[in-house]
Chains A and B, each alone.
Chain A
Amino acid sequence: MKKGILILLLLSLLAGCSNKKSEATTSYRIAVITMMQGGEFWGSLKNGARSARSSTGAVLEFLAPVNESDYEGQISAVQRAIDQRFDAIVLSPSHYSRLEDVVAKARSAGIKVVLADTALRNQTADFLITTDYRQIGKAMAEHAFTHFSEGEPINALVIGSMPNTTSMTNLVESLVQTFSERTNARIVSATYSFTNETIAREITRNALESDPSINLVFALEEYTAHGVANALGDSSDIHFIAFGTTQFEIQLLEKGVIDALVVVNSFNLGYRSVMAAIDLLNGNKPAQKLVDFDLVTKESMFSEEHQRLLFQTFQ
């Protein structure tokens, strides 16, 4: 009896000390697949991912096609991640249906898939980290309305980047919805630049030529915004609301060409996606929380809060 207790005590002591050695540093391999290689937005997302890496010890590999429109390239990037047996994939699908198969394939291969920013049409991933694009659309539209007096006709041109992404469709739908609720406000055209500055510039020029009544432009992505800015020129009385945090856009904001910049905290997006992937790999449930965004105007751009959001690449 007493001996049994002694042995039990001994075992529990030994067990106690072996227990301490848990939570070893994970060296999970995670593929981060963005829509394209360049761009401020994706750069910041990658920075966030890197920050998550340095705090967890995970191994990251960034895979992306050169152009956002190259969803085939993105599919082959996911395939590469499957072939190389990554533990998890963080993916921003540039096509909401074409990537579904390869994502399903990755998941059936036991790879955790976290979608960042954009989702798939039929939710087939393990987790989704995104921002509230509908809320952004509403906020953009409502901010635009503040530049017009009550009843003044608003004719808006909306240029998105990739037509088949959930972010763009949500944004456009939300803009259309918000516009429909205001009298005399209409969206003349909603079209896509395929993240091509030149196409965006041409779309803007053609639209302005064919419909001179256009007095508001929404550019839903930074390259698109550059194209629109080129088309509008320095002095224009057309109101312009754009996505992005490029230096060019910030200059335009200061100059007054851009009325407001929509900034999605893509650093946060990248960090939380990688963290969510590691959580899933560890069998934990990631936190369900939307990524923050903000609407920055010339007046607020140097406020402490917006400085840090707007000038993200400061380190």
Chain B
Amino acid sequence: MRKPDHPHSIKTILTFAIAFVSLSVTLLISAILYSQFSSTIRENATVSTREIVRQVNANLNYYTNDILTIAGYARDLAKQTNELSRTEIEKRLSSIVDSRQDIVCLLLFDLEGNVLLSTTDAPRREATEIAKQTWFTRALGGEGNFYFTGPHVQQLFTSSYPWVITYSQQISYTNEEGELSQGLLLIDMNFRTVSELSQSAKLGATGYVYFIDNNGKIVYHPYQQLINSDLFNEDLDSAQEYIFGTFTNTFEGRQRLVIIDTVNNARWRIVGVAFMDELMAGLDQYTTIMLIVLGFCIVITIVLARMVSAYISRPIRELDRLMNSVERGDFSAPPTVGGNQEVAALSQTFAVMVKRIRQLMDDIVTSQEMKRKFELDALQAKINPHFLYNTLDSVVWMAEQNDTEGVIRMITALAKLFRISISKGRDIITLAEELEHVRNYLIIQQIRYQDKFEFSITLEEGMENLPTIKLIIQPIVENAIYHGIKYLQEMGHIDIKVFRRKPGAVVIEVRDNGVGMDEQKLATILSFDGQHPKGAGIGVRNVHQRIQLYYGSDYGLELSSELDVGTLVRLVIPEQSPIQPIKVVQS
């Protein structure tokens, strides 16, 4: 259904897995139940149909036995013609016939068709006409031979045409000479009994029972008139083919259950026809109910599958949401999720992991801070050796010249310089202190360079106690002296001005009138890439890096310079709340 590279959600997979398994089981059980039930119904239907047909057959058997009994009685009487008068015998026979509604008449013929005994005195047909009828000819062939006809129009009496079934038997009787002679006994029955038997058999709604003779011809069929008119077809071929037993076949589009049994005495066979769709009507009802239940089960299963999968997948989704928020950098949410055991365990593990990450991040921040501190310390330390060497060299020189005052001034300035430099190990000092530091530095340098330059320091009122990182002005000034003023013929000027600049910045401006720089050099220094030749710019770059390390990239150095005009350096730092100056310096 879906592209293989598109992963399914757990919910979908679970839904389908649960639904598939449940539905398979449900369908399998339904199929088994259905087949069981249908085979049971089929079996029951077959058994009950067979039973009905057997019952009809048994009833017919009683009936034919009855007829045979009457025939036996008539046979006995026929041998007593020398003892009983014909009238007496006929009277006895009549009383039997009259007592039964189904027997039309009983007659005894000689083999030529002449009547010897009769229970009725209706005008009869000619003997020759009688002797050629089927029931007569078929019963001949030896004493005891008998025959049951199918329904036919009686042709014994003139002007009377009832439909009858005839039982005929060749018997011996005592003739007028007192000798035994062969005759033919006839019992005509209206076939109400047979039709009632046939119609009493209810095989489903429209099933029926019919009789065929041993040639496969219909003896009695409830739809005889329809068959005569070609309005109904009977499947006589397969009835003839199977002869006996139970079978199902399809005739004219309907599946039929056919049961064939032989009828005793009559050489007939009884055929029961039941229609499978009617017998299985109960199955239809069952099927309907089962399908409804099945449909209900399917719906329930799908709903349940969805609910269960939602229950299982919800905490996972929750966890996923949490992980996403952690991914975005939010470590504040407590990463614990309820739900099932596995997800809870997973969530706990995740919580531990997040905690650990937080810890690690804190560690990184601390170490970074430390690293920066170390760097600062190193940078600060870098300033000192050069300067100290040169200063001390100047002090030595002055001492050689016996310039005691100069030595005192120098050493005093140096002492102040170092005090501020050390400043009890603090990084942050006030602007006043910083400027004091520069002043002492400049004093030392003035002595060293024998008043080769002048300087001025201007600090706006009220800015004295504003904080700054220490030792940022001195390297700029040092640079101005070494690379600007030093090569100058006339008097050099270094002016330091500190003022506020909006918004919230403090600018320390160092201006000199030294030789200046060309644009290329300026660009090299400004690029701060650290790859330029040693010497020029190192201090400047250090200052810039320190400011940026401490205050961020919004702050730092601004340089402008022009050859033979001078250089202007602006140190920009943020304005922060004033701090207390270090007492040592104040004294």
B1–A14 CB distance below 8 A? no
Contact with A along B216-237 (1 / 0, CB 8 A): 0000000111101111000000
Known: A302-B155, A307-B152. 20 other contacts (CB 8 A): A2-B16, A13-B291, A14-B295, A16-B291, A17-B287, A20-B284, A48-B225, A48-B229, A51-B223, A51-B226, A247-B159, A251-B159, A271-B226, A302-B153, A308-B228, A309-B228, A314-B153, A314-B163, A315-B195, A315-B225
Q: Among residues 257 to 315 in chain A, which have CB atoms less than 8 Å away from a CB atom of chain B? A: 265, 267-268, 271-272, 292, 302, 304, 307-312, 314-315
Main secondary structure of the interface of A (DSSP, over half): helix
Cβ distance B122 to chain A, nearest Cβ, rounded Å: 14
Let me know if A6 is at the binding interface, CB within 8 A: yes
Interface size on B, residues (CB 8 A): 32
Whole-angstrom distance between the alpha carbons of A268 and B223 in the complex? 12
Cβ distance B516 to chain A, nearest Cβ, rounded Å: 79
A312 contact set on B, CB distance < 8 A: 225
B195–A271 CB distance below 8 A? no
Residue of A nearest to B232 (CB): A55
Whole-angstrom distance between the alpha carbons of A16 and B291 in the complex? 9
A10–B225 CB distance below 8 A? no
Let me know if A254 is at the binding interface, CB within 8 A: yes
Let me know if B482 is at the binding interface, CB within 8 A: no
Can you give 11 A-B contacts (C-beta < 8 A)? A6-B19, A13-B295, A265-B229, A268-B231, A271-B229, A304-B152, A310-B153, A311-B153, A311-B161, A311-B163, A314-B162
A292–B229 CB distance below 8 A? yes
B1–A2 CB distance below 8 A? yes
Let me know if B156 is at the binding interface, CB within 8 A: no
Let me know if B288 is at the binding interface, CB within 8 A: yes
B292 contact set on A, CB distance < 8 A: 14, 17
Let me know if B158 is at the binding interface, CB within 8 A: yes
Residue of A nearest to B229 (CB): A268
Q: A2-B16, A292-B229, A311-B161 are known contacts. Are A17 and B195 too (CB-CB below 8 A)?
A: no
Among candidates A13, A51, A55, A271, residue contacting B294 with C-beta atoms closer than 8 Å: A13
Select the residue from B159, B163, B228, B294 with max chain A CB neighbours within 10 A: B228
A20–B288 CB distance below 8 A? yes
B291–A14 CB distance below 8 A? yes
Let me know if B151 is at the binding interface, CB within 8 A: yes
Whole-angstrom distance between the alpha carbons of A174 and B298 in the complex? 72
A265 contact set on B, CB distance < 8 A: 228-229
Contact with B along A39-59 (1 / 0, CB 8 A): 000000001100100010000
A302 contact set on B, CB distance < 8 A: 153, 155
B295 contact set on A, CB distance < 8 A: 10, 13-14
Q: Among residues 64 to 107 in chain A, which have CB atoms less than 8 Å away from a CB atom of chain B? A: none
B residues bordering A, Cβ < 8 Å? 1, 16, 19, 151-153, 155, 158-159, 161-163, 195, 206, 223-226, 228-231, 284, 287-288, 291-292, 294-295, 298-299, 302
Q: Among residues 119 to 178 in chain A, which have CB atoms less than 8 Å away from a CB atom of chain B? A: none
Cβ distance A93 to chain B, nearest Cβ, rounded Å: 23
Whole-angstrom distance between the alpha carbons of A192 and B285 in the complex? 60
Let me know if A1 is at the binding interface, CB within 8 A: yes
Residue of B nearest to A265 (CB): B229
A220 contact set on B, CB distance < 8 A: none
Cβ distance A301 to chain B, nearest Cβ, rounded Å: 9
B299 contact set on A, CB distance < 8 A: 10
Among candidates B16, B19, B161, B224, residue contacting A247 with C-beta atoms closer than 8 Å: B161
B284 contact set on A, CB distance < 8 A: 20-21
Let me know if A250 is at the binding interface, CB within 8 A: yes
A314–B229 CB distance below 8 A? no
Residue of A nearest to B164 (CB): A314
A250–B225 CB distance below 8 A? no
Whole-angstrom distance between the alpha carbons of A114 and B228 in the complex? 23
B161–A17 CB distance below 8 A? no
Residue of B nearest to A269 (CB): B229
Whole-angstrom distance between the alpha carbons of A248 and B456 in the complex? 165
Whole-angstrom distance between the alpha carbons of A81 and B223 in the complex? 30
Whole-angstrom distance between the alpha carbons of A185 and B152 in the complex? 39
Cβ distance A11 to chain B, nearest Cβ, rounded Å: 9
